[in-house]
Amino acid sequence: MIKSMTGYGKSRSISKTGTFTVEIRSLNHKYFDMACRLPNNLSIFEDKVRDHVKKRVKRGRVNLFASWESKKKADTHFSLNIAMAKKYHHEMLRLKKNLGLKDDIGITEIIAMPEVIVYEQVKDEAPYLWPYLKKALDHALGKLERMREAEGRRLQKDLMKRVTIIRVYLGKIEGQLPKVIDKYRDNLFKKVKTFSGVDSPDHERIAEEVALFVRNSDVSEELTRIKSHLKGFKSTLRTHKETGKEADFIAQEMFREANTIGAKASSFRISRWVIKIKSQIEKMREQIQNVE
């Protein structure tokens, strides 16, 4: 069963340490690529999160956001940045003088400025939070996978339908080939008779020309190969591995064989069916771009 690369999963897990929220989105991408946004107190787990996601998502652009609201208020202490406070005071005095203000500059205004009071966290629970974060991550990944699998089933159904359509057109081409040969023989006979003025042209010579035509326009090998590719394509879609790259390669090969059939075709009908086959293959390749 194939998987789509498009999906979404969100999970919220409440534990004794607090509330964890994990949100994951995935989109089409040629390879695995991940953007991970974690708060500062969970940033030490970025590599673990990335490795854990990569085990379950093989291909696609993944955007992950996680947050943690602790139930406890961590013990903190603070210090004063005296140098920063002096700098703010100096600049405030300059501003007061330039604007001709008479208001006093007090300590309240100075300590409200950024980086004057520096808070430092003493107790950090983050190193012990991985099991709880992993639980929320697994739940979000589960939802993501279910959505990717559901979309994958829709894609597989569409791709299988196109395989059937291509087989129908191949059957039409095979059925038309004998008629093309007969028509070529009849037309050749009429032309020789018309231009030579002979009622009974050389049948042996005509047979040689027809044989040459058949050899140059023979597409039996291409038809056999494209049928084999269709069989391999269906088999690939039924595997449980990441199949996007392999399926795309097979589709390219089918398109190449269809091009060859079109180049050899000497029939308007065959050319028209080849165009329809190539159109189906192009649509298949568009769909495959979203397959993991």
**Residue found under tokens 């006093």:** 104
Residues 58 and 242 sit within 8 Å (Cβ to Cβ): yes
Residue 72 has pLDDT above 80, yes or no: no
> What are φ and ψ of residue 145, in 5° steps?
-65, -40
More confident residue, 188 or 27: 27
Please say whether the dihedral angle defined by the alpha carbons of residues 159, 162, 166 and 167, taken in this order, is positive or negative. positive
User: Which residues is 127 bridged to in the sheet?
Assistant: none
Residues comprising the chain, all counted: 292
Q: Give pLDDT, residue 122.
A: 44
- Listed by start position, the domains of the chain span 7-73+128-147, 76-121, 151-288
Q: Give the residue from 14, 31, 119, 25 showing the smallest Cα distance to 67.
A: 14
pTM, two decimal places:
0.68
Residue-wise pLDDT for 173-207, tens only, equals 887 776 766 565 555 556 655 655 555 655 666 66
Architecture of domain 7-73+128-147: 2-Layer Sandwich (3.30)
Report residue 162 CA to chain centroid gap: 20
Residue 78 has pLDDT above 90, yes or no: no
Write out the H or E segment, with its range, that includes residue 36. strand 32-37
Residue-wise pLDDT for 99-117, tens only, equals 888 778 888 888 888 888 8
Q: Give pLDDT, residue 251.
A: 95
Residues 27 and 6 sit within 8 Å (Cβ to Cβ): yes
DSSP-H helix ranges across 197-243: 203-217, 220-237
Residue-wise pLDDT for 119-164, tens only, equals 655 455 667 888 999 999 999 999 999 999 999 999 999 999 999 9
Residue 122 is classified by DSSP as: S
Residue-wise pLDDT for 272-282, tens only, equals 989 999 999 99
Q: How far apart are CA 108 and CA 89, in angstroms?
A: 11
